[in-house]
């Protein structure tokens, strides 16, 4: 709500504090003031003019020549195109050299041959929004309802010299959605007691309760429901001072009755509604839940089929309003209305919230009912509106109130322990200071032996426990006065757990090897979410995704990396080596929450980085990816236990260029090339990826490291070159060598792979270096020869190897 500085100063002495300074203070002690709005900002030389005479423009069928008194010695001629211009109007004149809305400059000029000394303005032309301009002036110039001093700036006559503090309230402080609440808040801050005028009513004639019968079917949902009848009213525009209050708060003035209900809502924060009494055929008002699909037309002309959870107001039979949200077209106040029924109520916030949400009718009224109402002022607001209708519409206020329900709870009493306040805040605020703050808040209290018993007024329904009162003390005492300390007490150990250490190790290693880290979205399309996994689970879908691109929870990290690659390729970044560490989501039978598995995945595409004038460029290949995986597994201590097995089971990967990674009989990941079909579909060059399940690695028990002295005896190396059938894998050879290499074989490394004509079709040559070491003695040639013979004959026998 936009709190008018001028209006506020009628309730509380603002001690001449500048609006901006007041706003800053309110922000620091209570409610964030998003901005201070000056409606006349940027406008100048806009004055009241009195149209003395008009005549049609000789060269136009829609322009009018106006003789306008602008307070100068002579009247000036202004050309006006508005259809509603007429003699004897008091109007807004933008003089030559003036600035109007949007920083537009007005110059003296000629229009179709006739001089024009400025412009007669519509409200929109001096910065009003279409949504607040009274309907009669929406398509023409604005005309003051009464004479104003000509030549004077218009701003003060239109409320534009006011300053509006835009209170950006949090949901708990809806008590400031009315001027009274705002006055209490500001008053507490500047130690001023707010003062509100009394409501004095002259009631006469019939009793409200005789004129209208009221019944509330759901008293639980409607703790207060009060009606008052005002007769013999004359519908007309409201006085300008009231219209100003409305339009400065974004509400369009309609007529005196509607305006009064809105005005009192701004005053008290209590939404009111006015029904045309004569449209209520049975002279009854009921409150009940709607029937399923019950049809209803709200006063904005919209047609609804209501739900059984919606509260409706009825004329005894059919709905005439959606409670707390919007009235109906069938009981709307019109120019012909003579008698109105005013309604002031409290509705259940949850009920109103549900209705406002599904209908998407977030009105000034529904917002307030949702967030809470000052139960103490419901009747007062009703009486205040009646008083204004008597004053402004000549109405006759009927006696008393027709009560549907009037349950007003007792104010809460909350104990405040001054020691507790200081214990929580870390302060040494004296009891006297605390009592002074409670006084500033206008809270009643009893200063008891050790505690203070505070009676919380109903207008502060956000306060119900001691912690709430501690906040009141703290904010008004001033957070700037809090000391700055650090928690003391028993020392605690700060450290990363094993999982966090493992993840850090993984990231650190990949970074050290030149892979850039990325963070992709966890929510993807369904095909993206379920791709690249050996164990696809049912896709987990959002109930109401924002877009189809982000609707399913990912089960792999590769799809995200591919999106990152595509983005980079589209921006001429062709050499990409990236990785991501993050969770994938897997449904688990009989378990509500999915399993979240920490994974790491990497992607390589384009030229090997970094390139330089010293190195020959080449493209990333399978073995770059695999090498990185092995490196990671080594650092994580499981490389020895891992097997790479050719794999053609993941549809998005090349069936001949993919290995699954197996640790203790469990598939923990894969490394491979993106399938050519997939590459084509995504317009990618040849790309390699890997993914590892870090949870599986984390769950692997590692032996304690026990060091040994480095061997002092010479090691022996022997090379062996083999010609093999092409389909014999390196893994087979190595396994056989290890099996037959004896206890001194420490390592087998391949150092050459060759295929070509010389060797023959479907053959290839593999060359290995075998490392032998006896930790306790020097190895003898005969020993090694014997082993080598065993190895080569095993290779020959089992793999038909030909030793070169």
Partner 1 sequence: MSLKQRLEELKDQGLQDIQAADNQQKLNDIRVKLLGKKGPITEVLRGLKDLSNEERPQVGSFANKIKGDLSSAIDDQLKVLDQKTLQRRLAHETIDVTLPGRPAPVGTPHILNQTIDDLEELFIGLGYEVIDGPEVETDHYNFEMMNIPRNHPARDMQDTFYITHDLLMRTHTSPNQARSLEKHDFSKGPLKMISPGRVYRRDNDDATHSHQFNQLEGLVIDKHVTMADLKGTLEVVARHVFGEEREIRLRPSYFPFTEPSIEVDISCFACGGKGCRVCKYTGWIEVLGAGMVHPNVLSRAGVDPQVYGGFAFGLGPDRFAMLKYGVNDIREFYQNDLRFLHQFQREVK
| 511 near partner 1, rule: CB under 8 A | yes
Which lies closer to partner 1 via its Cβ, residue 301 or residue 489? 489
The residue among 726, 735, 744, 725 whose CA lies nearest residue 768 is 735
Concatenating the DSSP letter of every residue in 492-542 gives: ------HHHHHHHHHHHHHHHTTPEE----SEE-HHHHH-S-SS--PPPB-
| 487 near partner 1, rule: CB under 8 A | yes
Total site size for partner 1, rule CB under 8 A: 94
Residues 436, 76: Cα–Cα separation, whole Å: 61
Which lies closer to partner 1 via its Cβ, residue 120 or residue 189? 189
Among 510, 530, 562, 690, binds partner 1 (CB under 8 A): 510
| 178 near partner 1, rule: CB under 8 A | no
Which token pair is 150? 């000509």
Residue 753: partners with Cβ closer than 8 Å, 6 or more residues away: 764, 765, 766, 767
| 564 near partner 1, rule: CB under 8 A | yes
| 494 near partner 1, rule: CB under 8 A | yes
Which lies closer to partner 1 via its Cβ, residue 350 or residue 643? 350
Residue 137: partners with Cβ closer than 8 Å, 6 or more residues away: 84, 122, 123, 143
Closest approach of partner 1 to the CB of residue 436, in Å: 18
Which lies closer to partner 1 via its Cβ, residue 238 or residue 528? 528
Per CB under 8 A, the segment of 113-121, 240-248, 254-262, 482-490 that binds partner 1 is 482-490
Among 134, 321, 349, 418, binds partner 1 (CB under 8 A): 349
| 489 near partner 1, rule: CB under 8 A | yes
Residues 391, 204: Cα–Cα separation, whole Å: 14
Q: Beta-carbon neighbour count of residue 219 at 10 Å?
A: 14
Closest approach of partner 1 to the CB of residue 340, in Å: 31
Which lies closer to partner 1 via its Cβ, residue 52 or residue 519? 519
Residues 746, 635: Cα–Cα separation, whole Å: 19
Which lies closer to partner 1 via its Cβ, residue 611 or residue 641? 611
The interface with partner 1 within residues 308-347 (CB under 8 A) comprises none
Q: Is 471 annotated as a binding residue?
A: yes
Provide φ and ψ at 156, rounded to 5°: -70, -25
| 451 near partner 1, rule: CB under 8 A | no
8 A C-beta contact, residue 77 and residue 114: yes
The interface with partner 1 within residues 713-772 (CB under 8 A) comprises none
| 573 near partner 1, rule: CB under 8 A | yes
| 683 near partner 1, rule: CB under 8 A | no
Which lies closer to partner 1 via its Cβ, residue 208 or residue 568? 568
The residue among 478, 471, 413 whose CA lies nearest residue 444 is 413
Which lies closer to partner 1 via its Cβ, residue 536 or residue 760? 536
| 491 near partner 1, rule: CB under 8 A | yes
Among 41, 449, 490, 705, binds partner 1 (CB under 8 A): 490
Among 370, 379, 673, 693, binds partner 1 (CB under 8 A): 370
Which lies closer to partner 1 via its Cβ, residue 274 or residue 323? 323
SS3 of residue 694 by DSSP:
helix
Residue 726: partners with Cβ closer than 8 Å, 6 or more residues away: 755, 762, 763, 764
| 492 near partner 1, rule: CB under 8 A | yes
Please give the C-alpha separations between residue 533 and each of 39, 50, 317, 581, 691, in angstroms, as whole numbers. 61, 81, 62, 16, 9
8 A C-beta contact, residue 661 and residue 671: yes
Closest approach of partner 1 to the CB of residue 762, in Å: 37
Residues 629, 705: Cα–Cα separation, whole Å: 22
The interface with partner 1 within residues 9-68 (CB under 8 A) comprises 27-32
| 516 near partner 1, rule: CB under 8 A | yes
SS3 of residue 472 by DSSP:
helix
For 518-677, where are the E strands, in sequence order?
Answer: 523-524, 552-553, 576-586, 595-605, 642-646, 653-663, 666-674
| 610 near partner 1, rule: CB under 8 A | yes
Q: What is the pattern of x (binds partner 1, CB under 8 A) and - over residues 458-477?
A: -------x-xx-xx--xx--
Q: Beta-carbon neighbour count of residue 111 at 10 Å?
A: 16
The residue among 261, 275, 369 whose CA lies nearest residue 327 is 275
8 A C-beta contact, residue 687 and residue 605: yes
Which token pair is 155? 């701003």
Among 41, 449, 512, 683, binds partner 1 (CB under 8 A): 512
| 544 near partner 1, rule: CB under 8 A | yes
Closest approach of partner 1 to the CB of residue 272, in Å: 22
| 576 near partner 1, rule: CB under 8 A | yes
| 612 near partner 1, rule: CB under 8 A | yes
The residue among 264, 228, 211 whose CA lies nearest residue 403 is 228
Among 50, 148, 288, 371, binds partner 1 (CB under 8 A): 371
Q: Is 468 annotated as a binding residue?
A: yes
| 119 near partner 1, rule: CB under 8 A | no
Q: Which residues face 748 on adjacent strands?
A: 770
Which token pair is 605? 């595409």
Which lies closer to partner 1 via its Cβ, residue 125 or residue 564? 564
Residues 103, 107: Cα–Cα separation, whole Å: 13
Among 99, 283, 354, 431, binds partner 1 (CB under 8 A): 354
Which lies closer to partner 1 via its Cβ, residue 370 or residue 440? 370
Residues 710, 676: Cα–Cα separation, whole Å: 48
Residues 7, 345: Cα–Cα separation, whole Å: 25
Q: Is 462 annotated as a binding residue?
A: yes
Among 241, 358, 567, 623, binds partner 1 (CB under 8 A): 567
Please give the C-alpha separations between residue 41 and each of 36, 48, 95, 100, 107, in angstroms, as whole numbers. 11, 18, 17, 10, 20
Q: What is the pattern of x (binds partner 1, CB under 8 A) and - over residues 697-716?
A: --------------------
Closest approach of partner 1 to the CB of residue 653, in Å: 22
Closest approach of partner 1 to the CB of residue 621, in Å: 16
The interface with partner 1 within residues 141-170 (CB under 8 A) comprises 170
Which lies closer to partner 1 via its Cβ, residue 139 or residue 423? 423
8 A C-beta contact, residue 692 and residue 632: yes
Closest approach of partner 1 to the CB of residue 155, in Å: 24
Residues 664, 668: Cα–Cα separation, whole Å: 9
Question: What is the separation of C-alpha 331 from the centre of its chain, rounded to a whole number of angstroms?
Answer: 38
Which lies closer to partner 1 via its Cβ, residue 590 or residue 704? 590
Q: Which residues face 64 on adjacent strands?
A: 56, 80
Per CB under 8 A, the segment of 7-15, 46-54, 123-131, 481-489 that binds partner 1 is 481-489
Per CB under 8 A, the segment of 148-156, 417-425, 653-661, 708-716 that binds partner 1 is 417-425
Among 427, 619, 631, 700, binds partner 1 (CB under 8 A): 427
Residues 58, 355: Cα–Cα separation, whole Å: 58
Closest approach of partner 1 to the CB of residue 312, in Å: 19
SS3 of residue 298 by DSSP:
strand
Residues 797, 654: Cα–Cα separation, whole Å: 33
Q: What is the pattern of x (binds partner 1, CB under 8 A) and - over residues 377-416?
A: ----------------------------------------
Which lies closer to partner 1 via its Cβ, residue 567 or residue 713? 567
Per CB under 8 A, the segment of 98-106, 111-119, 242-250, 607-615 that binds partner 1 is 607-615
Which token pair is 448? 């008891």
Residues 197, 7: Cα–Cα separation, whole Å: 13
Q: Which residues are annotated as a binding site for Mg(2+)?
A: 462, 468, 471-472
Binding residues: 462, 468, 471-472
């Amino acid at each position: 709500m936009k709190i008018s500085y001028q209006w506020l100063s009628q309730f509380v002495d603002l001690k001449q504090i500048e609006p901006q300074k007041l706003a800053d203070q309110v922000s620091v002690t209570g409610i964030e003031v998003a901005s201070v709005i000056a409606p006349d900002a940027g406008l100048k030389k806009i004055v009241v003019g009195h149209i003395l005479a008009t005549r049609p423009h000789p060269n136009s069928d829609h322009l009018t020549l106006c003789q306008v008194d602008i307070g100068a010695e002579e009247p000036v001629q202004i050309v006006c195109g508005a259809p509603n211009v007429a003699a004897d109007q008091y109007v807004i004149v933008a003089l030559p050299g003036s600035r109007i809305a949007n920083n537009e400059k007005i110059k003296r000029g000629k229009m179709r041959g006739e001089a024009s000394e400025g412009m007669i303005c519509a409200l929109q032309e001096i910065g009003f929004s279409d949504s607040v301009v009274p309907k009669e002036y929406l398509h023409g110039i604005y005309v003051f309802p009464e004479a104003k001093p000509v030549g004077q700036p218009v701003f003060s006559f239109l409320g534009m010299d006011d300053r509006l503090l835009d209170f950006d309230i949090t949901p708990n402080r809806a008590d400031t959605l009315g001027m009274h609440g705002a006055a209490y808040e500001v008053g507490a801050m500047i130690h001023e007691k707010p003062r509100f005028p009394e409501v004095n009513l002259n009631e006469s004639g019939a009793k409200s309760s005789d004129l209208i019968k009221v019944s509330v079917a759901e008293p639980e949902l409607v703790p207060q429901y009060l009606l008052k009848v005002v007769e013999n009213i004359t519908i007309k525009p409201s006085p300008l001072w009231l219209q100003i209050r409305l339009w400065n708060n974004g509400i369009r003035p309609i007529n005196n009755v509607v305006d009064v209900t809105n005005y009192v809502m701004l005053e008290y924060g209590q939404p009111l509604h006015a029904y045309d009494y004569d449209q209520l055929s049975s002279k009854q008002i009921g409150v009940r839940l709607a029937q399923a699909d019950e049809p209803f037309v709200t006063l904005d002309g919209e047609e609804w089929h209501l739900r059984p959870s919606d509260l409706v107001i009825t004329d005894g039979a059919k709905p005439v309003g959606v409670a707390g949200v919007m009235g109906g077209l069938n009981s709307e106040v019109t120019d012909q209305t003579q008698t109105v029924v005013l309604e002031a109520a409290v509705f259940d916030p949850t009920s109103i919230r549900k209705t406002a949400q599904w209908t998407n009718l977030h009105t000034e009224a529904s917002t307030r009912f949702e967030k809470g109402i000052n139960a103490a002022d419901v009747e007062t607001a009703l009486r205040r509106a009646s008083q204004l209708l008597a004053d402004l519409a000549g109405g006759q206020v009927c006696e008393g109130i027709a009560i549907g329900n009037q349950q007003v709870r007792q104010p809460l009493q909350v104990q405040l322990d001054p020691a507790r306040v200081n214990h929580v805040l870390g302060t040494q605020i004296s009891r006297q200071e605390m009592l002074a703050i409670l006084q500033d808040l206008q809270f009643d209290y009893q200063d008891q032996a050790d505690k203070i018993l505070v009676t919380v007024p109903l207008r502060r329904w956000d306060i119900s426990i001691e912690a709430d009162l501690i906040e009141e003390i703290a904010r008004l005492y001033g957070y700037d006065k809090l000391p700055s300390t650090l928690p003391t007490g028993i020392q605690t150990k700060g450290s990363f757990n094993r999982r966090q250490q493992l993840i850090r190790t993984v990231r650190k290693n990949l970074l050290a090897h030149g892979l850039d880290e990325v963070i992709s979205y966890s929510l993807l399309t369904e095909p993206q979410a379920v791709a690249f996994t050996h164990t696809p689970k049912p896709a987990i879908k959002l109930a109401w995704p924002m877009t189809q691109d982000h609707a399913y929870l990912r089960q792999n990290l590769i799809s995200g990396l591919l999106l990152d690659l595509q983005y980079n390729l589209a921006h001429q970044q062709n050499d990409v080596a990236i990785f991501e560490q993050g969770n994938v989501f897997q449904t688990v039978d009989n378990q509500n929450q999915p399993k979240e598995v920490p994974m790491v995945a990497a992607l390589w595409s384009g030229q090997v980085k970094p390139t330089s004038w010293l190195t020959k460029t080449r493209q990333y290949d399978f073995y770059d990816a695999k090498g990185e995986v092995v490196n990671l597994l080594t650092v994580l201590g499981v490389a020895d236990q891992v097997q790479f097995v050719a794999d053609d089971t993941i549809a998005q990967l090349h069936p001949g260029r993919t290995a699954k990674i197996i640790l203790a009989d469990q598939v923990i990941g894969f490394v491979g090339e993106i399938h050519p079909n997939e590459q084509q579909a995504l317009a990618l060059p040849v790309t390699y990826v890997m993914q590892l399940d870090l949870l599986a690695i984390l769950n692997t028990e590692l032996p304690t490291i026990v060091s040994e002295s480095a061997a002092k005896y010479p090691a022996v190396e022997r090379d062996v070159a083999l010609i093999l059938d092409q389909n014999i894998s390196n893994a087979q050879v190595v396994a056989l060598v290890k099996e037959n290499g004896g206890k001194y074989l420490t390592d087998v490394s391949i150092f050459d792979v060759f295929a070509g004509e010389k060797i023959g079709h479907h053959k290839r040559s593999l060359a290995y270096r075998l490392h032998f070491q006896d930790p306790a003695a020097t190895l003898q040639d005969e020993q090694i020869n014997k082993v080598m013979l065993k190895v080569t004959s095993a290779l020959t026998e089992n793999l038909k190897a030909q030793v070169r």
